[in-house]
Amino acid sequence: DAMAGPTPVSALIHAATMVTAGVYMVSRCSFIYVHAPIALGVVALVGGLTAALAAAIAVTQRDIKKVLAYSTVSQLGYMFLGCGAGAFSAAVFHLTTHAFFKALLFLGAGSVMHAMHDELDIVKMGGLKKYMPITYLTFLAGAFSLAGMPPFSGFFSKDEILWQTVRFGDPFHVALYALGALTAVFTAFYTFRMVSLTFLGKERFDPEQVHPHESPPTMTIPLVVLAILATVGGFLGLPHVFGHLNLIGPFVERSTAALEESGGLGHGAEWIFLLVGVGCALLGILPGWALYKAGPGWGERMARRLRPLHLLSYGKFFVDEIYAFLVVAPLRLFSLACALFDLAVVDGLVNGTARRCDEAGGAGNKVQDGKVSTYAAWFAAGALVLGIIVLVGVLR
């Protein structure tokens, strides 16, 4: 729902800055986390589950910005997985490359929305490739980077995280690696599902009402710049098998060198896992392209056959509803009870005291009626009382 804001805001805040602040904070506090292996394990587990859950949600979304939003959540899960594996430099590297390709994808989505008169449903698009060639090619560069295909930047940063995770060799980290690899397949699939439904196939909109066109240079030039960065950004952190040119690592690796060198696998095995990463990307890209290039028909048929799973994914695993039931509703009842207590007891006590004082003042005000005869009568009554008191004292 936060993605409902302007697309440039999403590109800046929700892709590159605000949402990644937690990853940066954990990385900067790495000197604390390296002495707390249990905490690191929790961070890695939460990150891996977050990546997988968000990717599973993105598979069925129809809103182009929601697909990108949940892909952002998934990629943040990868970053925290890297932090939990002690690969803080790899996490910051992925943070950097993610800023390139996710800002590109968000701005590309904005270009599509501009051409489609603010339409967000990718099922109602299709065939935009011939109308928007620059947007299509730049969006494709961001999609390949998100899917983790070489030589695009996302391949190097994501696979560095998975490699640093599996290097430990213990069952826990191997399981996290398997979860991350499965998430990579889902990521590539939903990414090219989005590309295919948006740009390929036949037009699924009314050409009488919608006239798609390429965006002006003020929108396409930033796309080209970001596409270049998304393509070559991976060379900021090449793996060991390609010479280990790491320009990101020196920012954080000084405090984590001992942890990052504690893995149980040698660099010779890195080739194998790089090839596995490419295989995972292809395993998602090819079905996403082949099944949706002609339109949403296959997806709609599968949604009907696997309706419970589709509802679970499309409904975001009902996380919002669970939060509303377990957190929002109890807090709302508690706040209502507090409001009633405040009105009935606290305000009642304060207002009741004020009311009693006002009534007492009103009673005293009857004495002060402004009439001289009344004052004289009270004066005489007072003098009489004093006289009686004095007389009683004398008689004693």
pLDDT tens across 146-165, in order?
999 988 999 999 998 999 89
Q: Return all residues near 8 (Cβ < 8 A) that are at least 6 apart.
A: 106, 107, 110
| Structural domain contains residue 322 | no
**Helix, coil or strand: residue 246:** strand
> Pick from 314, 346, 364: which residue ends a domain?
314
| Structural domain contains residue 319 | no
Say whether both 308 and 381 belong to one domain: no
Bridge partners of 237?
A: 246
Say whether both 248 and 225 belong to one domain: yes
> Pick from 279, 314, 349: which residue ends a domain?
314
Q: How far apart are CA 297 and CA 97, in angstroms?
A: 34
Say whether both 251 and 387 belong to one domain: no
The residue type at 62: R
Q: How far apart are CA 198 and CA 140, in angstroms?
A: 11
| Structural domain contains residue 137 | yes
First and final CA of the chain: distance in angstroms? 92
As a whole number of Å, the CA-based R_g of the chain is: 34
pLDDT of 185-198, one tens digit each?
A: 999 999 999 999 99
- Chain centroid to Cα 179, Å, comes to 20
Say whether both 369 and 245 belong to one domain: no
Query: Is the confidence at residue 258, as pLDDT, over 70?
Result: no
Say whether both 368 and 248 belong to one domain: no
| Structural domain contains residue 342 | yes
Say whether both 148 and 205 belong to one domain: yes
- Helix then strand then coil, in percent of the chain rounded to 5, is 75, 0, 20
Say whether both 254 and 343 belong to one domain: no
Say whether both 230 and 106 belong to one domain: yes
Q: Kindly give the interhelix angle for 217-232 and 88-115, rounded to the nearest 10 degrees.
A: 150
Say whether both 279 and 363 belong to one domain: no
Burial class (CB in 10 A: 0-12, 13-18, 19+), 292: buried
> How wide is the angle at C-alpha 246 spanned by C-alphas 242 and 247, nearest 5°?
140
The residue type at 269: A
Say whether both 215 and 347 belong to one domain: no
**Residue with the two structure tokens 């990629």:** 75
Give Dmax (Cα) for the chain. Answer: 122
> Pick from 261, 285, 314: which residue ends a domain?
314
* Percent of the chain's residues with pLDDT above 70: 90
Say whether both 80 and 114 belong to one domain: yes
Expressed as residue numbers, the domain containing 182 is 2-314
Residue 312's H or E segment, with its range, is helix 307-314
Say whether both 151 and 198 belong to one domain: yes
Picking from 189, 183, 208, 177, the residue whose alpha carbon sits closest to that of residue 87 is: 177
| Structural domain contains residue 128 | yes
pLDDT of 18-40, one tens digit each?
A: 888 889 899 888 888 888 989 99
- Work out how many domains the chain is built from and give that number: 2
Picking from 192, 368, 180, the residue whose alpha carbon sits closest to that of residue 277 is: 180
pLDDT of 186-245, one tens digit each?
A: 999 999 999 999 999 888 888 778 888 899 999 999 999 999 999 998 888 777 666 666
| Structural domain contains residue 324 | no
